[in-house]
Amino acid sequence: MSTLGIAPIVEGHGELQAIRTLLTRTVHELLQGPWPVVLPPIRQPRSKLVAKPRELERAVGLAALKLQQHRASFDHGLVLVLLDADDDPPCELAPRLLEQMRRDDVDTTCVLANPEYETWFVAAAQSLSEYLSIDDQPPLEPEKRRLKKGWIERRFIGSPYSPPIDQPRLTAAMDLSQCRGGSPSFDKLCRELERRLRGT
């Protein structure tokens, strides 16, 4: 398998803190790949990345430059844009963003958490009993039911849920296999990474 170098572009302060843990765990623990090189993420508001193509192109260019500077540390470099789908259909938004960010000098991909990053926690809720109060079985198909941050907030134990503080903790604790089984958008992230790991 290839050693991946990943330059992430994210939208929120929570993802900014959590993305390294998410990618490292996914590649090494779930996909059984070599430890990835996850470069410091670039954060831009979703509104700029989605509505202003030049802002997306600029962020991708900066990520590509970071990869070039660390090229000796990995076999395959990847610019990953990870955003919430929110109210946009991923099947429409992701291809549009991918076309805008495409470059000849670097591999790029775009993954949309559907509808939000927190939906991945809902999909893995059974493994998060330390953080979530769940009296019954977590719901099936949380993406179709559009369960997101509010579902987590209502069940969060202790202080109010804060993405910059709690996204990294929940990302470190959640069962990745459970999340993949319950979330097609997280499965999409896994498939994108796995394809690069295997060089296909």
The structure tokens listed for 105 are 């000098």
Question: Number of structural domains, the chain?
Answer: 1
**CA-closest candidate to residue 11, choices 143, 110, 150:** 110
User: Which pLDDT belongs to residue 200?
Assistant: 61
The structure tokens listed for 30 are 């779930």
Element (H, E) at 56: helix 53-69
User: Which pLDDT belongs to residue 135?
Assistant: 78
* Structural domain of 180: 4-197
User: Which pLDDT belongs to residue 100?
Assistant: 95
User: Which pLDDT belongs to residue 90?
Assistant: 95
User: How many CB atoms neighbour CB 96 within 10 A?
Assistant: 13
